[in-house]
Amino acid sequence: MKIHFPENFVWGVATAAQQIEGAAFEDGRGPSIWDVFSRLPGKIKNGGIPDVCCDSYHNIERDVALLVELGVKAYRLSFSWSRILPVGTGEVNPAGIAYYKRLIAALKKAGIQVNATIYHWDLPYALQVKGGFGNREIIGWYLNYASILFDSFGQDVDYWVTFNEPIATFVGHAKGFFAPGLSDEKYARQCIHHLLVCHGEAVRLFREKHLPGRIGVVVDVWKHYPARPECPEDIASAVQNNEIEGYGMFLHPLFLGGYSEILTDYMKKNDLTPKMEPGDLETICQKLDFYGLNFYNGLYDNADEQRKAAEGGNFQNRPEQHLEAVYDVLHMLVREYKIDIPIYITENGIAQDDGPDRAAILNDDERIAYVAETLRHVRRAMDDGIDVRGYYLWSLMDNFEWSAGFAARFGLYYTDYEKMELIPKKSAPWYRSVIAENGFEIAD
């Protein structure tokens, strides 16, 4: 049976500056919170630091050639704030502007659409020491940065993303295992509120500049379900992970206006309500051109199993795959959050554990099966009328995977970090054929 997609469906791959560029301290770039966090003992698996990564800063031609080889229609990248503005504000770094000018020009010459994220987790460290997203001045800092990007690249970027997966900011301030490594939920709630206001103000600024591209936001959805639908503890866990510490924190204010009743009550009860100014909630809820869904898995919460994991036993490092959840998630976005704009799957992929057996990593049948199964359920949702316009696979190449360092390999291309060579895995020609044929065959 052939799974077929519309002729105008956008096929792409996604990356992020902090994860692939390297050149962390070259040509005037300042440190980001991840450059600093990665140097704290025990924070990154195997002690990995993102100083070199895939060295994409010095290899524009190599990377674009891979994109051409794959036949992608679009490439999702992000700007490094501290490469543009080394201390977050003040003097613009001309070398940073020049780098992205060269990259975008190469993409446009190759006929590849540019999907550019303004902020993908890598706040300049100089701003973090001033309070980062917990300081309301971040709104002005972010708008200044966004304005520089709009003015410098606005004629060539096809899709703008204000923020990628803002939950990383919550995790980094409330949970401690992402940069900047803090564990203060009250502060984290304030950070999230300011981030959302930054988003809304950036959309307004984009509209004022009358640029030719489109603007949206990317929110990941790891939907949790109660493993035992009749169990109050499992139900409570799913609500906590969805509405209080997950996608509900963002989707409700972005698309419905204001924080949900569940979250509002929780914040009031625990003295976590962020300080807001009049008009903030209206600013956050701007009309967007598209929504980006990062989807990796659906999860089932079992309170008994969670207790065992907390006690150090029976920890499930690789949760069972529930890729069918993407079908439910897409319907939920339309049904519950009233999203009536085009949706793009802006990230989807699966990690392989690094190891000495390169041949096994290159023979990545698991990735092929994972992507095919996800796309099958995306197509089902489209058949129901859900307006999905494109799919970006994460990622073009193995890279620095945040707290997992270089131990998790998500790429279509294997990165040899010593030789800086990129070697196609089995999934690369498979994905190339999917793009060329606008679909793929599956067993009936």
Closest CA to 344 of 330, 331, 332: 330
Q: Which two tokens stand for residue 170?
A: 């919550």
Identify residue 436 by its one-letter amino acid code: A
Percentage helix, strand, coil for the chain under 3-state DSSP, each rounded to 5: 45, 15, 40
- 360: phi then psi, degrees, rounded to nearest 5: -65, -35
Contacts 24+ apart (CB under 8 A), 237-246: 237/301, 237/303, 237/306, 238/301, 241/299, 241/301, 245/170, 246/167, 246/221, 246/222
Active site residues: 165, 347
The CA distance from 316 to 320, in Å, is: 9
In the numeric block, which tokens belong to residue 408? 């998790």
Residue 423 β-bridge partners = 414
Helix (H) or strand (E) holding 346: strand 343-347
Q: Residue 292 pairs with which residues in a beta bridge?
A: 218, 344
Answer yes or no: are the C-beta atoms of 48 and 409 closer than 8 Å.
Answer: no
